[in-house]
Amino acid sequence: MTSGAATVLCTSCGADPVRGVNITSLSPGPHMMVACANDALGCTASAVFEFTIEPEDLAIQCADDFTVTLNPGETEVAAVDPRIADNLSAQVVGNCGIEPVITHYPPDVFAVGDTVVEFSAIGVGNCTTTVTVDAAPSRHIAILDKVADGLGMLRVHEAYSGTEIFGYPLTGVTTPSVQFAYSADGALLGLAYNNVFMTLDADTGVVNAGSEIAVSGDLARGRIAFHPNDSTRYAIQTETSSGQFKVRLYNSTVEVDAVDVPAVTNMSGPELTWSRGGSKLTAAYTVPTVGVTGAEQAKYRVFVHKWDVSASGFGSLSSLSAEKEYTPREEIHELFAVDGDVFVVTTRGVSTVNGAVPWLTHLGNIFMDVTSSGKYGLLIRKIPDHYKLILANNPTSTTSMLIVEGPSIAEAVLAGKPRPVAIAPDGRMAALVVQDNVLIYRLPDFVSSVNIGVQRVFGMEFRPMPP
C-alpha cells in the first residue's frame, strides 16, 4: 500500500465478496479507501473515502527563557513564587492527546544570576528553560549632614542596606547654606554652596566637567529645581542682602532669564517647583498675619506665584493667596509645592513672646514632603510626650489648596525630636531624622528598613528611580 493508492477493503463486490485485507498502519500523505458490502439477496454497495495523514513529530517543548527582577529588599526568589511558578513549564506535542509524564527538579530558591532548569519526558527527550534573576534596583538617599563647624558632608546611601555609596565633603560652609536636588531622571545631583552651583554624577559623586557656575545671593533659603523633562534646564533661587528672593533660569551653564519673587514682609523661604509638563514654574511661601483675641488666634496667609516658562525665559505671572487660622503653640503653615497648580500646606509649632504674640519656632515639630503624584503626605506632629508620624491619603481640599487634615492610612509613634522628613518620589519609602539617626521606612505599612547614623542633618532627598 502506497501513499495516494486505492486501498481496497474487499477484493470483490459480487455475491460472494472476498475479504481479508488487513490494514495495520498508514504512511503520511493522501489516501483513498474503497469499502463494499453485500446482503443475503446479493445486493451490493461500495463507497470511496479520501483523506490525508499529516505527520507531527513527538517532542517536548519548554517555556521560553524569562527574567525576574527582585523587589527592593529581596535577595532571592522562591520556586513557588508566582513570578517563577507561573512561567516555568513544559509540554509534549505530537502525542495524540495521551497525557505524558514530565519531570523537572528546580532549586527551592533562585539566586541572582542564571539558573537552567531541565524538563524530561520518558521516551520523548529533554528541553531547558533559563531563568534569569536580576538584583533589585538600588534606591539611593542623599543626606546633608553637618560634621563639624565649617565642614559638611553630602552623603549618598543605599536606602535598603544603609551602605554609603559616596560622600562629598563641603568645606568652609555654613551647612544650612547648602542646597541640593536630584534631576527628574535621577542621573544628576545638583549641588550649590559657597556661591557655586555644580552637578555631580549621581552614581559616583564625581563633579561633571564644565558644570560649575557662579551663583550670587544667599542659599540658606534658596532652592534648586530641575526641569521635569530636560536635566540641562534648571532654576536656582537665592536671597539678596535686602531679603528679596530671585529665581534664575539656566540652560546648561547659561543664565537665560531671572525674576524677583514678589516680596512680602516676614515671608518664609519660597518653595520652588515645576509643573509636570515643564511649562510653568511656581514659587509658594507663607506669611504670618498675627491677630490676638481671647483665644490668642494666629493666622497665616499662603501666597503662590506661577510663571509661564519657555526655554528662552519667563512669561506671564499669575498669583493667588489664601488664609488659614490656627491655635498658637500647635500649628503654623509650612509649604511644599507639588505641581504647578497643586501645592500642599502643612505646619510647624509656634510659641509665644512675652506670653502674647505667636511666632515661628523652627523646632521642626511638623515637616512634610510629598510624592510626585501628590496623593500622599507625610506629617509629623508633636503631642505632649512624643511625636506622631502620619501618612495621610487624599487630603481634604480647600479652594485650590490641599490641607493635610484628611484621614491617615498609617501611623507610627516616634521617640526623640524629629527633624527633616523625605518621601521617595514613587511613595515606596520615607526617611526621617530622630536624634542621631536617619530612620528609613517602607511605605505604606511603615516597615523599618534601616537606620543610618548621622550628626546633624539639614536636608534629605531620595533619588528618583528609573521607570
Least confident of 287-296, 416-425, 427-436: 287-296
98 has pLDDT over 80: no
Provide the terminal-to-terminal Cα distance of the chain, rounded to the nearest Å: 65
| 428 pLDDT tier (thresholds 50, 70, 90) | confident
Place of cell 498502519: 25
- What does the pLDDT read at residue 210? 94
| 411 pLDDT tier (thresholds 50, 70, 90) | low
Burial class (CB in 10 A: 0-12, 13-18, 19+), 178: buried
Q: Higher model confidence: residue 286 or residue 149? A: 149
Whether 305 and 317 have beta carbons less than 8 Å apart is answered as yes
Identify which of 383, 380, 385, 382 has the alpha carbon closest to the alpha carbon of residue 433.
380
CA distances from 466 to 125, 138, 183, 187, 426 (A): 43, 10, 12, 9, 10
| 66 pLDDT tier (thresholds 50, 70, 90) | very high
- pLDDT tens per residue across span 203-241: 999 999 999 999 988 888 889 999 999 999 999 999 988
Least confident of 24-38, 105-119, 193-207: 24-38
Task: Please tell me the distance from the alpha carbon of residue 377 to that of residue 83, in angstroms, as a whole number.
Answer: 32
If you ran DSSP here, which 8-state letter would residue 16 be given?
S
21 has pLDDT over 50: yes
What is the per-residue DSSP string for 23-87? Answer: -----SEEEEEEEEEE-TT--EEEEEEEEEE-----EEEEPPPEEEEPPTT-SEEETTSHHHHTT
Q: Higher model confidence: residue 28 or residue 464? A: 464
- What does the pLDDT read at residue 362? 25
Strands across the sheet containing 408-414: 376-383, 386-393, 408-414
| 50 pLDDT tier (thresholds 50, 70, 90) | confident
Q: Higher model confidence: residue 111 or residue 161? A: 111
Task: Please tell me the distance from the alpha carbon of residue 24 to that of residue 29, in angstroms, as a whole number.
Answer: 16
111 has pLDDT over 50: yes
| Mean pLDDT within 273-281 | 84
> Which domains, and CATH codes, for the chain?
6-53 (no CATH), 59-134 (2.60.40)
| Mean pLDDT within 57-85 | 91
- What does the pLDDT read at residue 176? 72
- What does the pLDDT read at residue 327? 43
Whether 60 and 124 have beta carbons less than 8 Å apart is answered as yes
| Mean pLDDT within 416-427 | 71
- pLDDT tens per residue across span 128-159: 999 999 988 888 999 999 888 888 899 999 99
Q: Which CB contacts under 8 angstroms, 24+ apart, belong to 1-5?
A: 1/26, 2/27, 3/27, 3/28, 3/29, 3/30, 3/31, 4/29, 4/30, 4/31, 4/32, 5/31, 5/32
Residue 84 grid coordinates: 517563577
Q: What does the mean pLDDT of the chain come to?
A: 76
CA distances from 376 to 245, 371, 407, 414, 443 (A): 29, 6, 11, 20, 10
Helix intervals (H) in 176-296? none
What is the per-residue DSSP string for 327-380? Answer: -TTT-EEEEEE-SSS-EEEEEE-EEEETTTEEEE----SS---B-TTS-EEEEE
| Mean pLDDT within 261-266 | 82
Share of the chain above pLDDT 70, in %: 68
- pLDDT tens per residue across span 338-375: 444 444 444 444 333 323 222 222 222 233 444 555 44
Where is 236: in which H helix or E strand? strand 233-239
Amino acid, res. 272: L
Task: Please tell me the distance from the alpha carbon of residue 30 to that of residue 2, in angstroms, as a whole number.
Answer: 9
